[in-house]
Structure 1
Amino acid sequence: MPKILYVQTSGTDTPERLYAPFILATTAVAMDIEADIYFMIKGITVMKKGEAEQIKIGSFPSLKDVIDQAKDAGITFYVCEQSTQLLGLERGDFIEGIKIAGAATLNDLAIEADSVITF
Structure 2
Amino acid sequence: MAKLVVSITTAKNDTDKATLGFVVANAAVASGQETVVFLSTEGVYLAQKGYADDIHEEGFAPILDLIHSFREAGGTIWVCSPCVKKRGLGEEQLISGATIVGGAALVEFLASGAACISY
Which 4+ runs in 1 deviate beyond 6 A?
A: none
Partner of 2:28: 28
Q: Which runs of 5+ in 1 are unaligned?
A: none
| Counterpart-to-counterpart distance in 1, 2:76 and 2:94 | 14
- Normalised to the residue count of structure 1, the TM-score between the two structures is 0.92
| Counterpart-to-counterpart distance in 1, 2:62 and 2:44 | 18
Identity over the aligned pairs, expressed in percent? 26
Q: Which runs of 5+ in 2 are unaligned?
A: none
The answer on whether the counterparts of 1:55 and 1:63 sit within 8 Å (CA) in structure 2 is yes
Instruction: Report how many residues are paired.
Output: 119
Once the two structures are superposed, residues 36-58 of structure 1 have per-residue CA deviations (whole angstroms, 9 ceiling, x without a partner) of 11111111011111111110122
TM-superposed deviation, 1:20 = 1.8
Once the two structures are superposed, residues 24-73 of structure 1 have per-residue CA deviations (whole angstroms, 9 ceiling, x without a partner) of 12211222221111111111011111111110122422111111111111
- Normalised to the residue count of structure 2, the TM-score between the two structures is 0.92
| Counterpart-to-counterpart distance in 2, 1:30 and 1:103 | 26
Partner of 1:111: 111
TM-superposed deviation, 1:118 = 1.1
The answer on whether the counterparts of 1:5 and 1:113 sit within 8 Å (CA) in structure 2 is no
TM-superposed deviation, 1:108 = 1.0
Correspondences of 1:76-87 after superposition (within 5 Å): 76-87=76-87
